[in-house]
């Protein structure tokens, strides 16, 4: 009776967590890991962003003027996957390498930079699936406990035990789905950001290649 009174005095979230059983702690751990990863990915992806339009406009002006060293220094001033990719191509141009080797150098740079952008983003999808499965596990445990208790209980307490078991099950399901929705939502968002960055690297490398081919005689 005292335990029931204590539960009733809790706020709705704490009460739902208490009623959910030990599986709620498993889902909580998954939720905390998801939150940590989301924050880490936001920080990393933001640090790797650069205004592509501004960067390419200034860089291409320097290249057209023929000053490759200044162009490389400009890339060094903004250390991001995009600037590193462009720099790798400019270094090959400065070393008088043919167009094919310049393009290969930039393509190789894209492959090196992509893991920095992706990081552990794929784990968000894993956490989303685990949260759903943990919620389902809690639901099953709650229902099993409920029907087991009801089968051996006296008629006066059957309804209460059944409601407690169903509450256990539904709380786990709800908490698990909440964590899963957050994880999958941010997984999709980060995948979009990563794909956008990759497209910018590929597009800029192609534009740079065309610019270099048209201005080889000016470059020094």
| pLDDT of the residue at 149 | 64
| pLDDT of the residue at 213 | 81
Q: Which ranges of the chain have pLDDT less than 70? A: 1-20, 149-159, 161, 164-165, 218-220
| pLDDT of the residue at 12 | 63
Question: Of 81, 86, 85, 88, whose CA–CA distance to 47 is shortest?
Answer: 81
| pLDDT of the residue at 10 | 55
- Dihedral Cα 13, 18, 21, 23, nearest 10 deg: 40
CA distance 27 to 171: 11
Q: Are 48 and 79 in contact (CB under 8 A)?
A: no
| pLDDT of the residue at 156 | 61
Q: Are 58 and 74 in contact (CB under 8 A)?
A: yes
CA distance 10 to 5: 9
Measured CA to CA in angstroms, residue 135 lies from 15, 124, 131 at distances of: 17, 16, 6
| pLDDT of the residue at 20 | 64
What's the predicted TM-score (pTM) here? 0.82
- pLDDT tens readout for residues 142-152: 777 777 766 66
């Amino acid at each position: 009776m005292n335990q029931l009174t204590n539960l009733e005095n809790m706020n709705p979230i704490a009460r739902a967590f208490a009623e959910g059983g030990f599986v709620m702690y498993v889902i909580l751990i998954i939720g905390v890991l998801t939150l940590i990863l989301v924050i880490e990915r936001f920080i990393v992806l933001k640090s790797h962003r650069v205004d592509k339009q501004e960067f390419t406009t200034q860089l291409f002006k320097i290249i057209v003027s023929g000053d490759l060293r200044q162009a490389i220094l400009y890339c060094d001033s903004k250390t991001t996957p995009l600037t590193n990719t462009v720099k790798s191509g400019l270094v090959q141009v400065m070393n008088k390498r043919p167009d094919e080797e310049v393009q290969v150098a930039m393509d190789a740079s894209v492959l090196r930079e992509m893991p920095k952008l992706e990081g552990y983003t794929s784990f968000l999808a894993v956490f989303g699936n685990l949260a759903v499965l943990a919620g389902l596990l809690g639901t099953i445990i709650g229902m099993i406990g409920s029907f087991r208790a009801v089968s051996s209980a006296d008629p006066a307490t059957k309804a209460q035990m059944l409601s407690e078991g169903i509450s256990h099950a539904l709380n786990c399901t709800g908490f698990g789905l909440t964590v899963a929705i957050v994880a999958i939502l941010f997984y999709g968002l980060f995948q979009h950001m990563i794909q956008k960055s990759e497209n910018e690297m590929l597009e800029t490398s192609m534009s740079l290649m065309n610019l270099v081919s048209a201005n080889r005689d000016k470059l020094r």
